[in-house]
Structure 1
Amino acid sequence: MAKNRFHDGAGPSQRQLRVGELIRRTLSDVLNRGDIHDPDLNRLSITVGEVRTSPDLKVATAYVLPLGGQGQEDVLKLLARNKSELRRAVSKNLTLKFSPDLRFRLDETFDQLDETRRLFADETVKRDVAHSDDDDDDYQDED
């Protein structure tokens, strides 16, 4: 049985990355233009941060976030409700044997960035980072 590349530590292939980025751009364009026949979805501004594809390119998971982060669960429901129309719109720009099944998840990287900024603003962390920089200077002096 073949191993899933994401679980064996190898990471995605160049083809997976290329196809994922093409799907991300296409999905973003479709959502921004309001090409979907759902007024509830078209009135929202949705950011597509990343798309990850399975090794066989049959499943594409889009990480999305509504503008301002409000109504996240509603956005996921609207995207799921319009999944087949979104899939058709995306597949028009792909030259793949199969049109990938689209799945939608919340993009939590923005929350992680906020937490990282908060940590770096903490006085204890600033002091530790400054101390670490001093240690690096000591190592460079030894060369």
Structure 2
Amino acid sequence: MARSSAPSQRQLRVGELIRRTLSEVLARGDVHDPELNAMSITVGEVRTSPDLKVATAFVLPLGGRGAEAALAALRRNRGELRRMVSRKLDLKFAPEIRFALDETFDRMDETRRLLAQEDVRRDTATPDPDEA
């Protein structure tokens, strides 16, 4: 039997719970790191491994500036963030939290730029029925 690479409903549900909890913790500034608390960080998505032991949080600082500093601060405080998230969630294991930059907005901008090019607009335009 072939396994699907798509995440299960449980993975999606737990990922969303972690995302919400992590967002709340970061928004309230509960972490004991003044540098991290001074940043406004958006948690766009959290993907979990099939066994729910690893969660990858895709984050982006407000405005996209200082992304490397934000990642460094999050990684420095990953243990404290893991404890805070696990206290609020009722899971058998506290997942290891990994942080990565959320590149969704960059990909959307690139797609818009590509679709705005003249030759692409010409190719995707609805053909005029009178020309046929």
TM-score, structure 1 normalization: 0.84
1:65 aligns with 2:60: yes
Q: Residue 115 of structure 1: which of 96, 102, 110 is its match? A: 110
Tell me, which stretches of 5 or more residues in structure 2 are unaligned?
A: none
Task: Write out the 4+ residue segments of structure 1 that deviate beyond 4 Å after TM superposition.
Answer: none
Equivalent residue for 1:26?
21
Q: How does 1:38-117 map to 2 (within 5 A)?
A: 38-117=33-112
1:134 and 2:124 aligned: no
| Distance (whole Å) between structure 2 residues aligned to residue 9 and residue 128 of structure 1 | 34
Shift of 1:94: 1.2
Tell me how far apart the structure 2 counterparts of residues 74 and 9 of structure 1 sit (CA, whole Å): 36
- Structure 1 unaligned residues grouped into runs of 5+: 138-143
Using the TM superposition, name which of 86-95 and 41-50 deviates more. 86-95
* 1:134 counterpart letter in structure 2: P
CA-based RMSD of the aligned residues comes to: 1.6
Secondary structure (helix, strand or coil) at the match of 2:88 reads coil
Give the drift of 1:9. Answer: 4.6
Count of aligned pairs between the two proteins = 128
Alpha-carbon separation, structure 1, partners of 2:124 and 2:108: 18
SS at match of 1:17: helix
* Offset, 1:134: 3.0
